[in-house]
Amino acid sequence: MSDKRPIYDEPSDVSVVDGCVQLDGPDAVDVAMTPDAAEETSERLLGAAFRARGQTRLGRLPHRPKEG
């Protein structure tokens, strides 16, 4: 990463209170969302997690120049 933000390896805690989704995480993260916002956020997080995992896996492969 180019910036110096800490990278956490523990997942955040998620709960439901009064019809809202609450997220408690590292670095004093404390967020309440509507169900719609939480659902969209979860889709974005999952997509980003897949891309990050792919970058990690592809980074370990030897690169070959394109033939042609």
**Boundaries of every domain in the chain:** 13-59
pLDDT digits (tens, 9 = 90+) for 7-62: 999 999 999 999 999 999 998 999 999 999 999 999 999 999 999 998 887 777 67
pLDDT digits (tens, 9 = 90+) for 3-22: 788 999 999 999 999 999 99
Which among 41, 22, 42 has a CA at the least distance from the CA of 33?
Answer: 22
C-alpha dihedral, 62 to 8 to 44 to 30, nearest 10°: -170
Burial letters 19-48, b for 16+ CB under 10 A, else e: eebbeeeeeeeeeebeeeebeeeeeeeeee
Please give the model's pTM, rounded to 2 decimal places: 0.74
Cα–Cα distance for residue pair 53/29, rounded to 1 Å: 23
